[in-house]
Amino acid sequence: MRPLLLLFWIFPLALATINDGNNTCKLPKVEGPIRGGQRGYPFASYYGNIGEIGYIEEEFFLTGNATEYEPVGDLSLDGKWNLKPTKSIYYKTRILVRKPKHRSRFSGVALLEWINVSFGYEVTFGGDAPGLYENRSVYVLVSAQHVGISGLDIPNPQGLYQWDLDRYGSLTIPNDTASYDIYTQVARLVKSPQGQAKILGGLSPDIVVAVGGSQSGSRVLAYTKWYTTSYQRIRRHDAITICQPGSYIFY
């Protein structure tokens, strides 16, 4: 196992090990790297010349069907929750991947950040932390929620549609009840040989870490408490870092 040397300016409040599951579930369809659009570059792209720090940044679209879940009974503080699958919905979302140029420099660690959408547009928490790139980790930003794509239901929304409709107009996440399964499918892709060939340039992570900050930290916490513990077959992460969670509620 390669050493893990990660430095964040945010304060991890919890770290829980998660066992891996099987590889029998479907993987999302991958499209990309994505080019074009009105602006010619992805939203939340690296601020600066990422090549100067030995990295490549690429955006991909993922298409699949995700399962929606709803709670059964109360959501208690102990995390012993009952939720049930309701239906499967079609989705098309995007991931932004930053990876070392040279295979020999890769640390073996991949971080999957659930992008925050509290402000009505996508905000990342760990993308500019120097330690992430100094350690030569793979960094994957995951658009898992409806608001990030469509924006809030207000007069002047600020989602991906509004930022660059030519680039992102085909994306759709109908609602957030499928966000947990979408996130799991991205993790499954990162841990699969097919996904590694398509989105990681053949890099094969030893460790996959789920990351969430603030509101998305609450979602990753809910994901930890129920989703990864109730359904053994869909465990995809080796560790989870919760950064400044706002609540424990599944929603």
Condensed to tens digits (0 to 9), the pLDDT of residues 89-145 reads 999 999 999 999 999 989 999 989 888 887 788 888 766 677 778 889 999 999 999
pTM comes to: 0.81
Residue 195 has pLDDT above 50, yes or no: yes
Query: In the beta sheet, which residues pair with residue 109?
Result: 207
pLDDT above 80 (res 6): no
Q: What is the predicted pLDDT for the residue at 243?
A: 54
pLDDT computed for residue 130 by the predictor:
72
